[in-house]
Amino acid sequence: MSFYGSRYFGDIVHGELGKDLFRYHGFVMMVAVAVLVFVMYMGCVILLTKFSYRHFLNRQRLEFWWTIVPMLLLVGLWFPSMINLYYMEEVKRPRWNFKAIGKQWYWSYEFCRNLDSPAASESAESISCYTIDSYMEDQQETFSKGGYRLLDVDNRMVAPADVQMTAFVSSSDVLHSFALPKLLLKVDAIPGRINRLPMKASQCSIIYGQCSEICGVNHSFMPIVIEFIPEKYFVMWLEALN
């Protein structure tokens, strides 16, 4: 999702992995343009040349190279793609977790106060957990605050910036999809199943997203807003929760 002043089609705050994906996209486009230009050039040469190729029956060396070169191009595209896919799915060691639950037609976020993993000796009763229901904000309030229509919510999810996290995504009724384009994240929320995905914002920002799975009549009114703030202020926010 792109806003005014974006450097790209949609700015990313995913750190080095996001930059690697943009570089890989540029590499794929460069290869595709080179292949297209070469094919068009050879087509024009064949159509416009005065020589006839009716008696050109076979050439084993030519057949060898037009089989090997596409294979080498595919291997060159496959290798960095697999590396990026591996790093995108790597969970790492999260310092904080939260759960996003899709409902018709809003999102609920569940989390605990502990920024790091609770100690083994800590009982379940001593861990404070909270739930935030996030509905789409009324349009009049959005206009009065200068927000984004159909994207702002009444209760934003708050998370620490530049901290490795894990998001657990599920649903309580029908299929939803938790999508945050600027974080390069998109995962289905499936009833009875929890999907896990790593998350890390490289800078303080407000990330907007929407449900990307047709889930009913109000599917287009399920925005996602996560506000990433410095870690010390996030700790203060956790301590201020009642």
- Compute CA distances 210 → 6, 58, 169, whole Å: 19, 56, 14
Mean pLDDT taken over the chain: 83
H-helix or E-strand spanning residue 224:
strand 223-229
What pLDDT was estimated at residue 169? Answer: 93
Q: Which residues contact 210 (CB under 8 A, 6 or more apart)?
A: 151, 179, 220, 222, 223, 224
In percent, how much of the chain has pLDDT > 90?
30
Query: In this predicted model, what pLDDT tens digit does every residue of 105-162 receive, in sequence order?
Result: 899 999 886 666 555 455 545 567 888 899 998 888 888 888 888 888 988 899 998 8
User: What's the DSSP call for residue 115?
Assistant: S
Contact assessment for residue 165 and residue 207, using Cβ atoms and an 8 Å cutoff: no
Whether pLDDT at 78 is above 60: yes
What's the average model confidence in pLDDT over 154-181?
Answer: 90
> 96-113+128-241 has which CATH code?
2.60.40.420
Contact assessment for residue 202 and residue 20, using Cβ atoms and an 8 Å cutoff: no
What pLDDT was estimated at residue 223? Answer: 92
Query: In this predicted model, what pLDDT tens digit does every residue of 2-47 receive, in sequence order?
Result: 554 555 555 556 667 777 888 898 899 999 999 999 999 988 887 8
What pLDDT was estimated at residue 201? Answer: 85
pTM of the model: 0.74
What's the average model confidence in pLDDT over 157-169?
Answer: 89
What pLDDT was estimated at residue 171? Answer: 93
Higher pLDDT: 95 or 36? It is 36
What pLDDT was estimated at residue 120? Answer: 47
Whether pLDDT at 93 is above 90: no
Q: Which residues contact 187 (CB under 8 A, 6 or more apart)?
A: 167, 169, 177, 178, 179, 195, 197
What's the average model confidence in pLDDT over 198-217?
Answer: 87
Sign of CA dihedral 41, 44, 49, 54: positive
